Amino acid sequence: MNVSSSSLQRSRSSSDLQGFNGVSSTFKETFTGSPWLMLLPKDGGCVLYNPKEGKKIHRELRDFPGSRILANSGYWLLLLDSGSNLVIIDVFSDKTIPLPSLESIASDTSKVRRVGDRVFEREYNGPEYSARVATDLTCDTVRGLLWVDESGTDYVVVWFFDLPGHSYISFCKKGDTHYTDIPLFFRDAHFLDGLSYMVLGRYSLYISTSRRFVKVLDLSGPQGFFKDITEGNKPFSMLSRYQSWDSSIAVTTSGEVLLVESNPWQRDCFRVYKYDPNVELPDYACHTVLEVDSLGGEALLLDLGFTIPANETLGIEPDSIYFTRHYRPCQCRPRDLDICVFNLVTKTLKRFPALDDMSLMDARWFLHAN
């Protein structure tokens, strides 16, 4: 971080992160527990790792061999099983929540059909599209997000086929009998087309488009309901000067959207930005954010996309970024795992040598209830 940017940051207190002019504070959650790692070995199953104690707990997903983990919410997992079906499972109790089939989508503009064990096609036919069929939809490209409340009685699932030119994402909530499509193509607002990143917090879905415009959707209400609740009904852009860096968006406990970047060539530096409301003509500006050097005493679990209050007793370090990789859930450009904790104030990086001998396919930070 250069001197001029640091001087700018010091002129702004950490209280700057407690409010945001671009979006309402709709991201509310009760955060309890300490940061653990969910490790996914290449030979199957999962390992729960407590970094504070160096303790590993091995878990077998007995009823779901050949499944792929798409997302987690605490110790609840969103799995795509070997039969191309989505299911939610509690990794501790093996309690399962079945979900509608991928092809059960209510939409006026598209239809998903299963054409093989692991292959689907989507037919488009709406005002934004000429009639066509997408045939390159395989289970390997399915991505997802998950939110489950602590009791396991309520949930939201978001999924999509992760291919260039994303056209739809689909979601369901507890009690829904099918998925609802959310279009990602807009004839008169192309800056909202496509998908770069998403964060799900309860019924609030934060979407960053391909051109880094952010909007917020409310998924609560009756089946099939969703509504754009971005403040002022105007998406805002999150653009930095470092367009070649890996990036994600995250949401603070107060509902502020942050841009988080890291150096893709040497993962030893992270940058965090907030939206700059003073940029003139932000729709045409090449950068629209201000760099900050503090998370206001909170910590960021980047895999989940939200900040949590720091708590030394629980091992939650203030102003720290808990990281494993960028491009979640959108993984068109996958990056290697790099399990670490980066302190934004001291600019120091902590890794976990005890994990070096594990052959991992993936890893995710989560909050373990104490």
Q: Phi then psi for 354, rounded to 5 degrees?
A: -65, -15
Asked if 257 and 26 touch (Cβ cutoff 8 Å), the reply is no
Query: Over 141-181, what HEC string results?
Result: HEEEEEEECCCCCCEEEEEEECCCCCCEEEEEECCCCCEEE
How far, in Å, CA of 295 to CA of 273, rounded? 10
**Position 261 in a domain:** yes
Token digits of residue 294:
């503090």
Asked if 88 and 148 touch (Cβ cutoff 8 Å), the reply is yes
How many Å is the Cα radius of gyration of the chain?
20
Please report the pLDDT score of residue 61 as a whole number. Answer: 76
Asked if 294 and 319 touch (Cβ cutoff 8 Å), the reply is yes
Please report the pLDDT score of residue 91 as a whole number. Answer: 86
How far, in Å, CA of 214 to CA of 195, rounded? 10
Token digits of residue 217:
């959707």
Going by DSSP bridges, is the β-strand pair 298-301/320-323 parallel, antiparallel, or unpaired? Answer: parallel
Q: Phi then psi for 73, rounded to 5 degrees?
A: -135, 105
What's the number of domains the chain is made of? 1
**Position 30 in a domain:** yes
Listed in sequence order, the residues at least 6 apart from 147 whose beta carbon sits closer than 8 Å to its beta carbon are 73, 155, 156, 200, 201, 202
Tally of CA atoms within 13 A in the half-sphere of 365 that contains its CB: 28
Fill in the amino acid letter for 178.
Answer: H
Please report the pLDDT score of residue 205 as a whole number. Answer: 95
3-state helix, strand, coil split of the chain in percent (to 5) is 10, 40, 50
**Position 98 in a domain:** no
Please report the pLDDT score of residue 292 as a whole number. Answer: 95
Give, in degrees to the nearest 5, the angle at Cα 309 between 276 and 11.
35
Please report the pLDDT score of residue 7 as a whole number. Answer: 31
**Position 178 in a domain:** no
**Position 5 in a domain:** yes
**Position 365 in a domain:** yes
Asked if 124 and 141 touch (Cβ cutoff 8 Å), the reply is no
Q: Low-confidence residues of the chain, pLDDT below 50?
A: 1-28
Supply the pTM of this predicted model. 0.88
pLDDT digits (tens, 9 = 90+) for 234-272: 789 898 988 788 889 999 998 899 999 998 888 888 999
Please report the pLDDT score of residue 117 as a whole number. Answer: 80
**Position 258 in a domain:** yes
How far, in Å, CA of 289 to CA of 74, rounded? 31
Residue 318, domain extent: 1-46+237-370
Give the burial class of 96: count Cβ atoms within 10 A of its Cβ; 0-12 exposed, 13-18 middle, 19 or more buried: middle
How far, in Å, CA of 60 to CA of 47, rounded? 9
**Position 83 in a domain:** no
Going by DSSP bridges, is the β-strand pair 179-183/105-106 parallel, antiparallel, or unpaired? Answer: parallel
**Tokens 């496509």 — which residue?**
194
